[in-house]
Amino acid sequence: MSAVIENHHDDHHHGPAKGLTRWLYTTNHKDIGTLYLWFSFAMFLIGGAMAMVIRAELFQPGMQIVEPEFYNQMITLHGLIMIFGGVMPAFVGLANWLVPMMIGAPDMALPRMNNLSFWILPFAFFILLSSLFMEGGAPNFGWTFYAPLSTTYAPPSVTFFIFSVHIMGASSIMGAINVVVTIMNMRAPGVTLMKMPLFVWSWLITAYLLIAVMPVLAGAVTMMLMDIHFGTSFFNAAGGGDPVLFQHIFWFFGHPEVYIMILPAFGIVSHIIETFSRKQLFGYSSMVWAMLSIAILSFVVWAHHMFTVGLPLAAELFFMWATMLIAVPTGVKVFNWIATMFKGSITFETPMLFAIAFVVLFTMGGFSGLMLAITPADFQYHDTYFVVAHFHYVLVPGAIFSIMAAVYYWIPKWCGNMYDERLGKLHFWLSFIGVNVTFFPQHFIGLAGMPRRYPDYALQFADWNMVSTVGAFLFGVSQILFLFIVVKTVMGGKKATDQVWEGARGLEWTVASPAPYHTFTTPPKVD
Amino acid sequence: MNSEAKKTLRRLVIAVPLMFAFGFALVPLYDVFCEVTGINGKVFQSENADKLVIEEGRPLGLQFISTNNENMPWTFEPSEKVMTISTGKYYTATFYVKNTTDKKMTAQAVPSVAPSNAAAHLKKLECFCFEQQELAPGEEALLPVKLLVSNELPEAIENIILSYTIFDITEYDDEALAHHDHKDHHEMEH
């Protein structure tokens, strides 16, 4: 963010280089964090624009705006871009900015690899987006790219899609390795594992999940590549392969992946609720154990995404119970957040509003998840808008609200200026209303039987779809306000104190605001 | 970077190719798992005939279904749609197949059994699905499957459906497919 440059204008010794090369060659964790965050914001807007196309088409029954083929490309790219371009890079950006400052380290452990892991990302998404202009169009098989839809019946651009997923995977793996090496080896003396801030804990666990499953995703797309171009039959029944196998491999990656997108949010929300409740977090160690249990359980629940493929009864029961078991550690976390707020001196600044909305709305998404976990019921819900409502509740007011909360919470530390509280609150309320108006009705139309991934629908779903579209545009437009607020804060505003928030604890609040280009070059003393 | 950090780094870097390999290891693991548990309705070639106990058991309905995959133009249907058989006895059923095109074509039939917990008890000694079928233009054939349903079939099952989907594999790399098949069936025999 440019304010950082200006503040260190005359500090030739330790300040950043000038101009574009600063960003190209930088190995500074704060610069790279900033790059990640801006990149994810750009992807959020592109993926959001695609969501607007989808909702505009669904405003009324019948085909209005786009061709069905293009609609399929939109749902595919919307999913891929929001997951791999929006949420994941945003969390990596936050990890870059915050993990070294929270553990009292001068930088990430592998600064050059850090630069590489960011700079390959724009290429991955350039390749993915360029497929829109290729013959046959962009990938159109949904973000889950089930074979044989993504192999035998895929457009030629699928090969570009495969390579872009390879690059995204390489970027995530490098980022994750960097985080683990940093956390395991660069903590300031006195910062023991069980004294680490929860955001650091959440990222340590997330990084291990990434290292475990991103290579499996790379394997899955490599098998697709081989089936398409080299005559193998991993997923081709005629050659002895099995399309159901694809779903097993994909969801072995895919389920831990959904926790990769929510664990860092747990860390963020814990910090914010603690700060604005002006109390110590309730149940720190149970929070850590809950995240660990969720991470471990995430490896044994994948088949709940595929109850309807014809699993044997024993497997259906196993995956149902294992999935429901996850509600226990998740419930512990929600309990702890509420217990932290209980009898606290709460104030409702923008980050706190987003954090409280997170707790409420994420829990709702969790409950619809429990409904989906019930095998016999899932046969009814499978591939309906109920599923769409469920995962958008955990991802939008879940993951994305936590990212927005984090931006409001830490931006004074990043650029030294307070954001406009009035605008921040306006942004919160518009987003909160928008998100619920968009996704709550999707529960109803899903239960009534509207299937997902179709550009058209039966007349009885018309009213709620119209409501949903209105909400989507409200939510979409309010993100332009978010962009405006962030830019305005970076450009100037009320100067922030070093501690920024009255109740803020942790090493990152002990350094100046804005955080100097280099922090903790000598390790801080921690008791 | 200190040596501890290097050690952590080394471990993580090794973990990545291992997990990549694990993804591929899921392929044979999945086949073995399906074979051992008999789920997924997959039927594999059975061990030698003399090892099977042949003792007439209870009556059982056996239905045959044939499906043409997408644009497969051949005629493909069971000679008899339903058979009443007895468990523990050998039967041979046939499927009629005809290449209705004016090109030489190769086909592969892929079997499936419903209910899936019957699959482990359905023993096939011969099946056209173990081989590829190559037919000249207009050529027709009767394809045999020799099978036995073991007496251990769960009591609750009164009907078994054996379904075949026929795929056009003319344009596939024969070498690769043939190799795959060959390997599969050897595994089954052990």
Residue B179: pLDDT over 70 = no
How many residues comprise chain B?
Answer: 190
CATH of the domain at A498: 1.20.210.10
The verdict on B138 and B98 lying in the same domain is: yes
Look-up of token digits 């000249």: B136
User: Is residue A397 one of the residues assigned to a domain?
Assistant: yes
| pLDDT tens profile A246-285 | 999 999 999 999 999 999 999 999 999 999 999 999 999 9
Provide the 8-state DSSP code for A16: P
| Closest to A131 in 3D by CA, of A89, A163, A85, A83 | A163
| pLDDT tens profile A11-58 | 445 678 888 899 999 999 999 999 999 999 999 999 999 999 999 999
User: Is residue A15 one of the residues assigned to a domain?
Assistant: no
The verdict on B161 and B177 lying in the same domain is: yes
Provide the 8-state DSSP code for A460: G
A216: distance to nearest CA of chain B, Å? 5
The verdict on B140 and B177 lying in the same domain is: yes
Query: Nearest CB to B2: which of A185, A231, A240?
Result: A185
Residue B118's pLDDT is 83
Q: Which structural domain range is residue B23 located in?
A: 1-37
Identify the active-site residue in A34, A40, A157, A172. Answer: A172
ipTM of the complex: 0.89
The verdict on B66 and B146 lying in the same domain is: yes
N-terminal to C-terminal alpha carbon distance within chain B: 53
The verdict on B27 and B76 lying in the same domain is: no
CA dist A215 and A203 (Å) reads 18
Confidence of residue B189 (pLDDT cuts 50, 70, 90): very low
The verdict on B131 and B145 lying in the same domain is: yes
Confidence of residue A313 (pLDDT cuts 50, 70, 90): confident
CATH of the domain at B149: 2.60.370.10
Confidence of residue A207 (pLDDT cuts 50, 70, 90): very high
The verdict on B108 and B93 lying in the same domain is: yes
| pLDDT tens profile A75-130 | 999 999 999 999 999 999 999 999 999 999 999 999 999 999 999 999 999 999 99
CA A255 to chain centre: 13
Residue B39's pLDDT is 65
Strand partners, B82: B63
The verdict on B93 and B176 lying in the same domain is: yes
User: Is residue A374 one of the residues assigned to a domain?
Assistant: yes
CA dist B148 and B119 (Å) reads 11
Query: Nearest CB to A216: which of B1, B22, B180?
Result: B22
Strand partners, B83: B62
User: Is residue A288 one of the residues assigned to a domain?
Assistant: yes
User: Is residue A276 one of the residues assigned to a domain?
Assistant: yes
B59 or A329: which leads in pLDDT: A329
A111 or B117: which leads in pLDDT: A111
Read off the pTM: 0.89
Q: Do residues A139 and A158 lie in contact, with contact meaning Cβ atoms separated by under 8 Å? A: yes
Strand partners, B111: B164
Please count the structural domains in chain A: 1
Residue among A217, A225, A245 with most chain B CBs within 10 A, to mutate: A245
Which chain B residues are closer than 8 Å to A173 by Cβ?
16
User: Is residue A396 one of the residues assigned to a domain?
Assistant: yes
Helix intervals (H) in A20-120: 20-25, 29-57, 68-80, 88-103, 111-119
B188 or A377: which leads in pLDDT: A377
| Residue A249 forms contact with B (CB below 8 Å) | yes
Residue B34: pLDDT over 60 = yes
Contact A312 B177 (CB under 8 A): no
The verdict on B141 and B126 lying in the same domain is: yes
Residue B44: pLDDT over 90 = no
Is A171 a catalytic site residue? yes
Strand partners, B164: B66, B111
CA dist A60 and A34 (Å) reads 40
Phi-psi region of A497 (alpha: psi -120 to 50; beta: other; left: phi over 0): beta
Tell me the mean pLDDT in the region B136-161: 88
The alpha carbon dihedral of A276, A277, A280, A286 has a sign of negative
The verdict on B4 and B65 lying in the same domain is: no
The verdict on B67 and B83 lying in the same domain is: yes
Token reading at A55: 């909702």
Residue A311: pLDDT over 90 = no
A310 or A245: which leads in pLDDT: A245
User: Is residue A360 one of the residues assigned to a domain?
Assistant: yes
Residue B126's pLDDT is 81
Confidence of residue B69 (pLDDT cuts 50, 70, 90): confident
Residue of B nearest to A252 (CA): B23
User: Is residue A8 one of the residues assigned to a domain?
Assistant: no
| Closest to A74 in 3D by CA, of A14, A177, A143, A123 | A143
| Closest to A470 in 3D by CA, of A65, A44, A60 | A60
Average pLDDT, chain A: 94
The secondary structure element, H or E, covering residue B19 is helix B3-37
Q: Which structural domain range is residue A417 located in?
A: 26-219+245-509
Please count the structural domains in chain B: 2
The verdict on B71 and B6 lying in the same domain is: no
A178: distance to nearest CA of chain B, Å? 8
